A = this chain, B = another copy of it.
Amino acid sequence: MRPPLIDDLRALTPARAGGDLLAGSITAVLLVPQALAYALLAGLPPEMGLYASILPPVVYAFLGSSRTLAVGPVAVAAAMVASALYGWAGDDRELYIQGAILLAALSGVLLLAMAALRLGWLTHFISHPVLSGFVTGAAIFIVGTQITALIGAPGSGRHDFLGEIRHLVAALPQANGATAAFGLVSLLLLALARSPLQRLLTRAGMAAGAAAMVSRLVPLVVVIVATLVSALIGAEAMGVRTVGGISADLPIPDLGMFRSSGWWQLLPSALLIALVGYVESVSVARSLALRRREAIDANQELIGLGGANIAAALSGAMPTAGGFSRSMVNFDAGARSQLAALVTAGWVLLITLFFGGLLAPLPYAVLAAIIVVAVWQLIDLGSLAHTWRFDRGDGVAQALTLGGVLALGIEGGLVLGVAFALAVFLYRTSRPHIAVVGRVPGTEHFRNIHRHVVDTWPERLIVRIDESLYFASSPRVYAELQALVTGHDSALADVVLVLSGVNAIDASGLDMLAAFHDELQRLGIRLHLAEIKGPVQDHLERSDLLASIGAERLYLSTQAAVEALASDSRAG
């Protein structure tokens, strides 16, 4: 799919341009505080969050297939950056920053490589429950690790949720009063700015749209007011940790880092960041596109996000992805094309150049409050109960991923969840459902004898196999077939296997069928196959199984098999 921006710009009308201009400006208002906060969350200087909000979204705008996805720094990826670099960089601050840029470069290269090799399907192996458990776990993890920053207590210095929580108990009494005031007041205002403020304003007669707009201004207002108050009261002298100046220089690409030895060590982390960022971005982009009947091209998204991350690396920024809340705001504010993203980027560029230095007195605790409020909405424990009700395996996978993130860390939890979900699938497919079927009277349909009232015959055993015959399922299918043959009426003369549920047969499955056929032959029982699917039949033609069973014992339908057997027994 061709990225839509150029066509959109050609077809631009004043009304549409106005919509994008407004939406882009509103998104910028939300983005600037988030950019500073997520850089803090990643353990990086604040300007790296701002840089991530300038060039990367511009590159995405030209390459991506979504008209409304807002690309930039995101909370989960920021936490993953911190996870990857804690330990790797040790106390070396410069190495840490270089590592973040390397992660962006690697993520970008991996996404582009996946686009070139058409490997987008790799992300299909992250199941919905695992992703949901992961996001909720990561959000709780992030909240847990922001509490010390919020109240000005000394951090544990470790990137570990359980350790941080244990540390908190001891650290609470060492909180800094002034910092806690900044943090908790900001937290309260930001929390109130969500639905309570909107409800209040609409109840006071304001239009819903205007109320939402005011509510979205609150984070920026909190940042500005906190910066002013901090400067006026001299908060830094009171022990409040502040941002301490944002470099107003635009970053210059440092190509030297590409000779770093970190490439290989950071590759697994970069892969996880790329996969999670991609999956989240595509799902946000898709749900927004659906609302306007637009389309998202999964492969073009790999290119768009890959390009954005390469741009992040080249402009000295942290890794980027499509943000959930920011894209929603952009969409709701009336963005129709990626022109809005260009407007947002322009605003962030201006703010970085001309106002960055003014943010020096901003307390970190305010940014921690922004992080906590932003990720709080990602916590979805109801989904866990919902998944559990539908499917126990998926429920355990979701809980295990969530718990794994908290107990083992962000990366470990994700890997554990994906591995567990795969294990559940493999376990289930290795224990297939097998049904003895009979004919529903008066029809040509055959159903499970234990679920339906059906006709059966003592001399015939008709068995439906509800799984592909592959190496892990074949031994069990074989054992069950043997047991059915042994347990059947001694008049048994014909076994019909109904293969409507057999979507594939591999070499082990073929061996199993051949062994079963041999065994039936020794017992003087004939084997018949019904409802073999086209691709399975093609595959079996490559072996001599069908020839040894005999073409006359293969039937398009179970009914045809039963009719043939009936005329056989009349003839005999």
Contacts and interface: CB of A to CB of B under 8 A. Distances in A.
A145 interface: no
A472 B557 contact: no
A342 B430 CA distance: 37
Nearest to A286: B515
Contact of A533 (B393, B474, B501): B501
A293 to B, nearest CB: 8
A472 B125 contact: yes
A507 B426 contact: no
A137 to B, nearest CB: 17
A129 B470 CA distance: 11
Contacts of A426: 125, 422, 425
Contacts of A203: none
A429 interface: yes
A451 B511 CA distance: 27
A264 interface: no
A226 to B, nearest CB: 41
A444 interface: yes
Given A127-B508, A433-B535, A476 B389 contact: no
B390 A510 contact: yes
B430 A507 contact: no
Contact of A431 (B121, B422, B531): B121
Contacts of A298: 479
A236 interface: no
Copies of this chain, complex-wide, total 2
Interface in A253-308: 290, 293, 298
B451 A534 contact: yes
A543 B430 CA distance: 25
Contact of A389 (B466, B472, B542): B542
A444 B444 contact: yes
Contacts of A488: none
A213 interface: no
B425 A470 contact: yes
A434 to B, nearest CB: 11
A174 to B, nearest CB: 41
Given A121-B431, A433-B533, A533-B433, A129 B508 contact: yes
Contacts of A430: 121, 124-125
A552 interface: no
Contact of A127 (B124, B435, B506): B506
Interface residues of A, number: 66
B507 A390 contact: yes
Contacts of A543: 390
Given A533-B433, A534-B435, A507 B475 contact: no
Contacts of A479: 298
A539 B124 CA distance: 22
B506 A393 contact: yes
Contacts of A522: 293
Given A501-B500, A503-B501, A543-B390, A445 B556 contact: yes
A502 to B, nearest CB: 8
A112 B391 CA distance: 32
A535 B466 contact: yes
Contacts of A448: 534
A297 to B, nearest CB: 10
A394 interface: yes
A47 interface: no
A471 B125 contact: yes
Interface in A127-185: 127-130
Given A501-B503, A503-B433, A533-B466, A391 B476 contact: no
A562 interface: no
A421 B508 CA distance: 11
A538 to B, nearest CB: 9
A539 B391 CA distance: 8
Interface in A84-111: none
Q: Give the one of A124, A430, A471, A476 with max B CB within 10 A.
A: A471
Nearest to A475: B124
Interface string A523-543: 000000001011100010011
14 contacts: A124-B474, A126-B471, A127-B470, A127-B507, A127-B508, A128-B507, A390-B507, A391-B506, A435-B534, A444-B444, A467-B503, A500-B500, A500-B531, A501-B501
Given A393-B506, A429-B503, A444-B444, 9 more contacts: A130-B471, A293-B522, A390-B510, A391-B506, A422-B426, A425-B506, A429-B429, A466-B503, A501-B503
In the A-B complex, the 10 residue pairs with the smallest Cβ-Cβ separation, listed nearest first, are A127-B471, A394-B507, A128-B508, A466-B503, A500-B500, A124-B472, A124-B475, A127-B508, A451-B534, A391-B507
